[in-house]
Amino acid sequence: MDQFDYSDEALESTRDSAAVIWNILTVIVLLMALCVCVGVGAILINPQISINPYPPPTMPPTATFPTATPTPPNPFPATWTPTVTLIATLIPTGTSTAVPTDIQPTVLPPSTEDPAQTPGNGQATSTPSYDMPFVLHPGDPVAINNIGYPELGCNWMGVAGRAFDLSGAPIEQGLFIQLEGTLNDEPVKMFATVGMDTPYGPGSYEFFLGDEPIASSQTLWVQLSDPSELPLSDKIYFDTFVECDKNLILINFNQVR
């Protein structure tokens, strides 16, 4: 008698058991495939994840540099406070003016003479200091007739002059001049640039003091300076006169170093 049971019931039971085993295996494979997909996706999202067997090398941090902030340069020193007093002077159109041409710069060596004894229409001058790069022109200040605006005659009073460099050439820019003191018991404070457009030639300056001559004695002074208001000469004190033929005070400067 055959020991195997080939009945329909036995065969059906065997097929059912095999189907269950295959179903279980299928579920296991699907779960493994799902896990693999999840793992691959996680690695794609974050390559540095711990489950990645071949993580990419860590990149060094990107160097960052501070943003440069441009600072515009200051063309003037911190103490630069320009103050310019503009004085209007009426000059009739078409009037010719005579400009002195006999002013010649002279470079002075150090001297022990007292310049206050130098003749200059009776005007005393301050003793020059050779520590300064500019000194007073020999013989100045000098009082003369108003040669800049002769048509105004006695209805004008002022101070003018020029500045010369070491070679004797007029200096036309980079210098300022200050006039300060009192005139007729009134305070006076004016500034001008050397190289103004005046009737006195290149490298000149001019101050208008009034429409009539007024006498004063050593109450006014002028001084050269640079754009930062650093003095380049001593204070030059001078007189003014009531005479109409002395209503212009000429004060010139020579560079000595």
157-216 pLDDT tens trace: 999 999 999 999 999 989 999 999 999 999 999 999 999 888 999 999 999 999 999 999
Whether residue 96 is contained in a domain is answered as: no
134 with 240, same domain?
Answer: yes
Answer yes or no: do 133 and 58 share one domain: no
Residue 2 CB partners (closer than 8 Å, separation 6+): none
Q: What is the pLDDT of residues 59-72, one digit of tens each?
A: 666 555 555 555 55
Q: Which pLDDT does position 6 carry in this prediction?
A: 60
One-letter amino acid of 55: P
Q: Do 131 and 61 fall within a single domain?
A: no
230 within a domain of the structure (yes/no): yes
CATH code of 158's domain: 2.60.40.10
54 and 180 co-located in one domain: no
Q: What are phi and psi of 21, to 5 degrees?
A: -65, -45
* Domain containing residue 183: 115-255
Q: What pLDDT sits at residue 18?
A: 84
Mean pLDDT computed over every residue of the chain: 78
42-54 pLDDT, tens digit per residue, is: 888 888 788 877 7
**Nearest in space to 191 (alpha carbons), one of 168, 175, 203:** 175
150: Cα separation from own chain's centroid: 41
Residue listed under structure tokens 């105004």: 152
Q: Please compute Rg for the chain using Cα positions.
A: 49
Q: Is residue 250 part of a domain?
A: yes
Residue 45 lies in a domain: yes
Answer yes or no: is 164 within a domain: yes
Residue 91 maps to a domain:
no
244 shares its domain with 150: yes
15 and 121 assigned to the same domain: no
Cα separation, 111 vs 253, whole angstroms = 17
Beta bridge partners of 163: 253
pLDDT in tens, 81-122: 544 444 444 444 444 444 444 444 444 343 333 433 333 454
Task: Looking at the structure, tell me whether residues 129 and 251 fall in a common domain.
Answer: yes
Residue 137 lies in a domain: yes
**Number of domains, the chain:** 2
The rounded distance, in Å, linking the Cα atoms of 207 and 247 is 12
In a domain? residue 86? no
- 62 and 158 part of one domain: no
pLDDT at residue 108 in the model: 38
Q: Is the pLDDT of residue 80 over 70?
A: no
Residue 134: predicted pLDDT = 97
